[in-house]
Chain A
Amino acid sequence: MADDVIFDLLHSEIVAFLHRTTEKDNQDQCINKLESLGFRIGQSIVERFTKESPRFKDDLDIMKFICKEFWSAVFKKQVDNLRTNHQGVYVLQDNKFRFLTQMSSGKQYMEVAPKYLAMSCGVIRGALANIGINSVITAEVSAMPSCKFQIQLQRT
């Protein structure tokens, strides 16, 4: 079984690779690619995680699963805080997000942070989509290595 270190290095290298192979003025494309890589990973991983479990009751049941089991497995800890406006917006706060802990705090890192969060946003969105919830996810860093993910459910 692969070790954490090799996974973290692979993740950083994927970010760096897509950064250097996309044109400087087109970094949105880099973010989009990271997001779509993550989406495909999320689809697969959630299929594996929910293989033995009973069917979900409702959206809240699903969000609790994402914050606890899913987060612990993928990001190595549980979400620190989950809030919802009960109208389809959920805010998940992680005070020590896995892919930000290797970075130091400081302005220059704040600029690159979105790239280190894009794949994770995709993973969460892919997982949710596969268990039946379409969403828009944005991540926001106010102080390293803490991060807030806002998940807006899309009603169909």
Chain B
Amino acid sequence: MARKHECVAMLLAGGQGSRLGILTKNIAKPAVPYGGKYRIIDFPLSNCVNSGIYTVGVLTQYQPLVLNDYIGNGQPWDLDRFDGGVHILSPYQQIKGTEWYKGTANAIYQNINFIERYDPEYVLILSGDHIYKMDYSDMLDFHKANNADCTIAMIEVPWEEASRFGLMLVNDDGSIAEFEEKPKNPRSNKASMGIYIFNWKKLRKYLIDDEANEASGNDFGHDVIPAMHGAGERMFAYQFDGYWKDVGTIDSLWDSNLDLLNPKVDLDLDDDSWKIYSRSPAAPPHYVSASAKIENSMITEGCEISGDVDFSVLFANVRVEEGADVKYSIVMPGTVIKKGATVQYSIVAENSVIEEGATVGRSPEEMSNIEDWGVTVIGNGVTIGKGVSVEPKAMIDTDMGGEK
């Protein structure tokens, strides 16, 4: 048996993220690129190591190839360790048969043996869906101080958006009075962030009970948390103040990337005391030619820029040729935007080619009917032919020809 660990983190990274459409056709949502050089999963992983949690189980299921390869042995996050470290936990064959992870709680249930090896007091449950910087050790201190059985991280969201979230009504002492799941008329704006700390022994019991209950959907939010609450366990809400964004939709992914260009947004990724680590592509610094014009943008290693870039986030090894115009867009690694092409209000995934004179996306101002406007998405490895025009809101995952 391994040395006893106070807290083990379990990161639920098996979700498809279907609302991201073609961006998650071949990769799991936590592997979606973000912020010029990161993938979404870099945030919870970096938060773990910055919080002093060095034992992380990553539960994968949907399209795990890219994610597994990206995490590798965990070295970019200092999680390549003899004692603990990062472990990829995929569904496996057992004597009683093979089972996919049926729900978030079932995924943890199937890995009870992994957690038991470290004999932890606490288990931290995370998801790979959010962009935020959070010190989990503060949350753990709060959990201990309240002698809680379960602590749920909570953030106050704007009232008008509250009905999209799982909400909590919180007593004055921080304990949770009631849960509301996406109510029409919210009575609270305190949203669950999907981050839980449990006393392991207690959680273990509830997971086993939940598994035995055939009516259960085996989900933390729907089944396990309500069961614990119903049984009168000590449940507390830990308030988080800071940047936190679910990047589960095209619009929120686009918004959240552009937030990085807004000096008023409280998300500093260049903070030495809380670095966000990622696997480096080993490319030289980016080159900006004499014909380039770059403003309000984030650009990283390996890029070659000769065109105009404004309000955009460019990932590694992107090439923007002379006369090309990139505005309000997210361009993922290895994509080439050729001479005279225009890309605006778009997300272009990895290794795509926008040929000369093509037009991708449009600005809202150009639309006669604003209802028709939306972010344009070009999938991985897609070529948009010469002079082709791609409409707003379109999602393109096959080549579009043009004049030969």
Partners in one complex: no
Instruction: Give residues in B with beta carbon < 8 Å to A.
Output: none
